[in-house]
Amino acid sequence: MKARIRAVRPWLPLALLLLVLVLSCVAQAAVNEQANGGGRRRRRSPRRSTAAADGMVPITLLKSAAEKGAVCMDGTPPAYHLDPGSGAGNNSWIVNLEGGGWCNNARTCKFRTRTRHGSSDYMERHITFSGIMSASPASNPDFYSWNRVKIRYCDSASFAGDNFDKGTGLYFRGQRIWDAAIQHLLSIGMASADQVLLTGCSAGGLAAILHCDQFSAFFAGKNTTVKCLADAGLFLDALDVSGGRSLRSYYGEIVAMQEVARNLPPSCTGHLDATSCFFPQNVIDSIKTPIFLLNAAYDAWQIEESLAPNRADPSGAWRACKYNRSACDASQIKFLQSFRDQMVASVKAFSGSRSNGLFINSCFAHCQSELPATWNDAPGSPAVQNKGIAKSVGDWYFGRAEVKAIDCPYPCDNTCRHII
User: Residue 358, class by beta-carbon neighbours within 10 Å (0-12 exposed, 13-18 middle, 19+ buried)?
Assistant: buried
| Contact criterion met (CB below 8 Å) for 248 and 217 | no
Distance CA 380, CA 166 (A): 51
Residue in 372, 322, 350, 79 with CA at minimum distance from that of residue 230: 350
Which of 83, 155, 240, 299 is an active site residue? 299
Three-state DSSP state, 377: coil
Which of 155, 366, 369, 407 is an active site residue? 366
Distance CA 246, CA 238 (A): 8
292 Rama sector, left if φ>0, alpha if ψ -120 to 50, beta otherwise: beta
Beta strand segments in 1-89, E:
56-61, 79-83
Residue in 168, 198, 167, 173 with CA at minimum distance from that of residue 185: 198
**273 is known as an active-site residue:** no
| Contact criterion met (CB below 8 Å) for 51 and 129 | no
How far lies 336's CA from each of 70, 304, 310, 323, in Å? 40, 12, 17, 13
Distance CA 2, CA 10 (A): 24
Distance of CA 97 to the CA centre of its chain: 5
**267 is known as an active-site residue:** no
Residue in 90, 257, 47, 281 with CA at minimum distance from that of residue 165: 257
**369 is known as an active-site residue:** no
- Sequential DSSP letters for 3-15: PP-PPPPTTHHHH
Q: CB neighbours of 2 closer than 8 A, spacing ≥ 6? A: none
Which of 202, 246, 306, 346 is an active site residue? 202
Q: Count how many residues are written for the chain.
A: 420
CA 167-172-177 angle, to 5 degrees, is 150
Return the active site residues. 202, 299, 366
